[in-house]
Chains A and B, each alone.
Chain A
């Protein structure tokens, strides 16, 4: 095996060329799979028909991909040439990329590739079965058309709904999770037992939990029965509510209690509907335990000497919490708030199963809208438009989590 070449400069040239060709080839194939062309059985029936489609619509995309591949290939080839003469470094380099290969291929295909594809088709009117046609920013304009045309307000209303959702669910679940973790962090017996019980709702699938809650929320279900009984004891007559079918908004209810009304044209003043709040409650029920576990682990990591010092200094419980516990938990709080925001802004399962976006679109969410638009559930298939919605949602998520990070990391420098 050891054909020692006399010139060490030449030694790595052949492997470097092989690496370059290999990288370009792999990325080329991945790009070919993700090329923005129409799909369908006829196009995909043979390589020929697919290639002719790629030639017709995806040449710029492929050129971009090949250029990127060549740049990546160049750097990798250069490294290969550099490490080749040294046996140990060569081994680590080759083993490293061999071990990373499955991850790199999967992520380049199913994350990077598909995102580039989605970015491209978000500027086209694409529906799988026809060639994507460039229409510029029209999809993005269409998404916000609701500002001027009330019949096209679906996306705006979906955003409005999830912003309420995040604004209520994230703080409530964070506070509850912290409270429960602190309760479990006190010296109690059967801690393991309680922790396991508390965590059970987070283990089960959201479909199961949603079905159970749909049943509990029925007009002749347990929740109405419970409220009627309990409120009956203190003499309040409670009318059963169809929890998942009631479009009345929170602010609307408050205003109506004072005799006012909010017309349906001003839906954006109505606040989250009863149906939406019912889903919020159920969501909190399933996510609190996960975050509780994270908080619990963070609480157990806090050095007990700090608490001892505080008690010697005569600090009361409140001071201990605000001066020690809260600041030390700040990184994990940030994590939980950010994860919670990302999760709540993308709520789908509960909506799909329980309400399908109704009543009066008060539980419509962006991801549900993306799903229905992309599959053409309510009209024609509009994958380009759906992709545009997805990117707008992603930008909003990035922006919100960025702001949260900025706010929550303020003042942590001293710890």
Chain B
């Protein structure tokens, strides 16, 4: 670049700079607008459904539909809470069933999963890599294949319509082990080597060194497994067939068929299902997102 043309270049640079500033402002504006629009789209179905729960039977079927109800009929919530489908089928019961199963499965996944992950990441033994690769291979198997034979197995073991039919296959899964293994591998080995020299056993190292360090990963597995049990539908639908054993998802599908046109009531039921898991998510969103990330990136 020669000296003579410098002035010219400066002026065009200046101009483009000013243009760039306005362009930037517009771009930022549209960026936030887009974020807001997407946010509204993502939440709108929930907001609509929530407002639907406090409408009357007439309001909910009226056309054109109104956004807000005339009067907020909170008694709908009490009505659904107290609905009895017979044979012990009530919402408090279903809520308890779902929460119980989700907690049991989540805890056992975290416990057995971290044990297996310790073996995969910290121990050296013949066959370890074969078992690990075998585990990765089983993760590729589509769930549709095991659906029927697992059902037959449950009928043979006479576990149909018991919670065992959902707990036993869910005791531990390849997904949790995989997430935990990749986390354990990222923990430096120095700490436990010191413990090992002091004569600690593997069980002691596992409990006192690895588990406290792996708390975020374990929390992640707990939450993701809780959520996946809470949201599961096909297996409970197959295995549980008496109203006092239903989980919320199965109960909701039955409830909707019984109260076909009373969408306000069905939506209340849907809220009973959605609200606990959404609260859990808003509290632990960091761990949720980490869990999804781990499952994704490292897979």
Contact = CB atoms under 8 A, between A and B. Distances in A.
Interface of A: 33-34, 37, 39-41, 44, 50, 75-76, 79, 82-83, 89, 91-93, 95-97, 99-100, 102-104, 106-107, 109-115, 117-118, 121, 128, 180, 183-184, 186, 188, 192, 194-201, 203-209, 211-216, 218, 220-222, 225, 285, 289-290, 293-294, 297-298, 301, 332, 335-336, 342, 345-346, 348-349, 352-353, 366-367, 370-371, 374-375, 383, 386-387, 390-391, 393-394, 397-398, 401
B155 interface: yes
B231 A97 contact: no
B119 A374 contact: no
Contacts of A375: 238
Contacts of B256: 211, 214, 353
Nearest to B126: A79
A335 B139 CA distance: 13
A349 B149 contact: no
Given A199-B289, A207-B252, A370 B148 contact: yes
Given A96-B128, A208-B274, A225-B63, A216 B48 contact: yes
Q: Which of A82, A91, A107, A401 has the most CB of B within 10 A?
A: A107
A99 B155 contact: no
B115 A99 contact: yes
Interface in B240-297: 248-249, 252-253, 256, 263, 266-267, 270, 273-274, 277-278, 281-282, 285, 288-289, 292-293, 296-297
A93 B126 contact: yes
B147 interface: yes
Contacts of A366: 144
B297 A294 contact: yes
Interface of B: 31-32, 34-35, 38-39, 42-43, 45-46, 48-49, 52, 61-65, 112-113, 115-116, 118-120, 123-128, 131, 135, 138, 140-153, 155-158, 168-169, 171-172, 174, 177, 201-203, 206, 227, 230-231, 233-234, 237-238, 248-249, 252-253, 256, 263, 266-267, 270, 273-274, 277-278, 281-282, 285, 288-289, 292-293, 296-297, 299
Q: Which of B126, B128, B288 has the most CB of A within 10 A?
A: B126
Given A39-B156, A44-B156, A79 B127 contact: yes
A99 B132 CA distance: 13
A40 B35 CA distance: 56
Contact of A394 (B43, B61, B126, B141): B141
B48 to A, nearest CB: 6
A114 B146 contact: yes
A186 B24 CA distance: 12
A311 B191 CA distance: 43
B267 to A, nearest CB: 7
A374 to B, nearest CB: 5
A398 B140 contact: yes
A386 B35 contact: no
B253 A352 contact: yes
16 contacts: A83-B125, A95-B202, A96-B123, A111-B141, A113-B153, A183-B31, A194-B35, A203-B278, A206-B233, A208-B274, A218-B263, A346-B144, A352-B237, A390-B142, A394-B142, A394-B145
Nearest to A80: B126
A200 B46 contact: yes
Contact of A335 (B49, B234, B270, B299): B299
Contacts of B62: 220
A298 to B, nearest CB: 6
A335 B296 contact: yes
B147 A371 contact: yes
Given A92-B124, A102-B115, A110-B146, A188 B65 contact: no
B174 A207 contact: no
Contacts of A102: 112, 115-116, 171-172
Contacts of B248: 205
B180 to A, nearest CB: 11
Given A96-B128, A207-B253, A371-B238, 5 more contacts: A111-B146, A208-B252, A293-B293, A374-B147, A390-B147
Given A96-B119, A352-B253, A215 B149 contact: no
A40 B34 CA distance: 58
Given A383-B152, A390-B145, A212 B48 contact: yes
Contacts of B46: 200, 204, 212
Given A95-B203, A393-B142, A386 B148 contact: yes
A96 B150 contact: no
A209 to B, nearest CB: 7
A225 B65 CA distance: 7
B144 A349 contact: no
A255 B39 CA distance: 37
Contacts of A293: 289, 292-293, 296
Contacts of B49: 212, 215
A222 B64 CA distance: 8
A203 B125 contact: no
Contact of A118 (B128, B149, B273, B288): B149
Q: Which of A183, A195, A196 has the most CB of B within 10 A?
A: A196
B267 A211 contact: yes
A359 B170 CA distance: 35
